[in-house]
Chain A
Amino acid sequence: MSLTIGTMMALSFVVSLIGLAFLIWAVASKQFRVDQSDAEVIFSGAEGEDHAPDDPTSFGFQRDAEPGEGTDTRHRKLIFALIGFGTFWLVLGSIFGVIASLKLHLPDWLTGSAPLSFGRIRTMHLNSVIYGWLSLAGIGVAMFLVPRLFKTPLRGVNLAWGGLVLWNIGVAVGVYAIATGWTDGMEWLEIPWQVDILLAAGGACFAAPLVLTAINRNVHHIYVTAWYYLGALVWFPVLFVIGNLPIHTGVQGATVNWWFAHNVLGLWLTPIGVGAAYYVLPKIIGKPIYSYRLSLLGFWALALFYSQVGMHHLIGGPVPTWVVTLSVVQSVMMFVPVIAVAINQHVLWGSNLWAFKQSLPLRFVAFGAVMYTLASFQGSMEAVRAVNTVTHFTHYTVAHAHLGAYAFVSLVLFGTVYYLMPILTGRLWPAPRLIALHFWLVAIGFGVYFFSLTIGGWLQGLAMLDASRDWLESMQLTQPYLEGRSVGGTLMTLGHLLFAINLLSLVFAARRSTDAVDTATPATSAS
């Protein structure tokens, strides 16, 4: 048995390597060149033009330009609704998160009722922010970007509205179910599978319009952002359905659990964030991405390697050595796509630092893009057995999860929303300084959060490995760091409230001056 398994594992890695080698060969021998020429033809009018930051939030900076050809105000309200509900879940989820954080150093606070106990409120936090905030806001951004990328009006707008209703009901019922103790009991899969049917149906209603728009597109070339979106639309449904099938028991449940949970990060949230950053960074700066070939490498290597990293959550656990080692190796291989994306994105903003003075969304998005690089490097290191022995079972892992899901994906989404809302509403942000304040609140809050838990978690892990120290010490020494986490989390939550206030003030300002919007709208769509 173990011989065949060893062979299978070697086979898996070899297949991944062959895939990577083929990709590099194809890229190097210009197999993809035709497409790129297309792209240059299509956008030739754009190159050489003076590239000014395209950013309606900047202090006093304004620019005239042709309206985007893909702009379609028919589904403007859909995008508002997606982002609006996403923000609602963000604020609610952050409040759950702060309560959970406080409970770790105030264990006798709010102990009276089961829904408020740590184990439940922590889970309500996770599900609100992952399935509520990140998924809805991410889809909202996709609904904005995909028609633009394909210069095609969004298909199936009404279907997407149905998806919004189903998805919100699904998340609301799911979070309520967790509060009442009805749960599937696996991390990231807590929402009962019966409720997940709603989410699956809602997800299909979101996917269909995006895919139809892609198929009926008016441009030949598919820009890198759309690769990530299309990939995510293929991957997430498969993950979600297999992960939620109520057939996994025993240790086998654990392998499915972590295969799912890590792929949600890598094949759903990561494409949402990387895809948006790939669009917003060049769009705001007004210059192209560094290298098309690196984009290809980054995308396909992500698919090849990330899809197999999940078992690093079970290092040292009761699962076969071969599958753990396979995931460890694939985790480290993640350096390849991450470096590719890093060069593409960081070279662009790094050589155009002037744009930061003028654009607030750029701050969020570039910060998020850097955090993607750091989170991935850190993740690869954490999967190495020697490091994992220390960090596994500690708060270090929690800091890492927030580096990826929050500092990377959420910040990119904040920036993208700040970028797109004025274009959609036809109004400027009423108070750009509040946007800057939002940025500093979440950046500083996250810094406090991250360094507290990283340091505390590392010390906790070292104490736990030291047989001469009582286990209790490893818990007691984390106390000040857990308090630090609550401070950071509170700052981040204040930032989110500010984000919600900014959005509300823009939308209500838009509503008050409907005339202005109506005159702006035809101007936007008439090209």
Chain B
Amino acid sequence: MMMPLESFSLYVLICVLAPLVGAFTLSFVMIFERQIDNLPKEATKLEMEKELQNAHYDQLNQQIQPHFFFNTLNTMLSLARLDRKDELIKGLEVMAKFFKFKYINHPSLIKLEVELTYVKNYLEIQRLRFGERLTLTQDIEEQCGTSLLPPFIIQTIVENAFKHGFEKYSGPAMLRINIYHSEGFLYIEVWNTHLIQPINEKIDYKPREEGYGIRNIQKRLELLFPEQVTSLVMRHIGNETVVEVKFPLTK
């Protein structure tokens, strides 16, 4: 059957208008791509802020355990009674710095050296409590100092080592922190000399539950580096527990 004039006219109309539709689509994508891009980014940002707040809350309410606080105060009191003024001043100083860092608001990424200063303050307090029982080894690649990471990552893992390892079991408390980079990734390893129960990947831990802090780190890494390789592994090697965190190196 031969095509009638009406159908032909319609065919021509479609053919003539088609490139207009194509050009319009292309222009639309060009103009609005950035805005469309920002929609999921906004959602991720909100979720990230929420997770950061959770981490902050966790830091403020869960992990400043009363017994840590009172033990530290008792240590200070003993130092005062023994008239060891220099050590007392140093102890109060690091405690002030430690709490100051806890109570300020943090961006979603901070420099590794800032996080390490915070961890150092915490370890100074613990050194007052544990004395010679605590041995600390650090092996940190110099170039990694300026790389960025979500706040409280190392702190949470180190606190975990004390809470579930050194404070529960007697004997030497050996803590080793290794930080290095390789093939575009930053690796953080925290080793301790006690066997800690690994967290269950499938369980979504609630605040104040054991394992919540570690799961929170995982979540924040996934949000910060979507569709990129990140991992948090806790495993036993010999008599030691190692927590290894891997995420893209960001400067």
Q: Do A and B bind each other?
A: no
Residues of A within 8 A of B (CB): none
Query: A-contacting residues of B (Cβ < 8 Å)?
Result: none
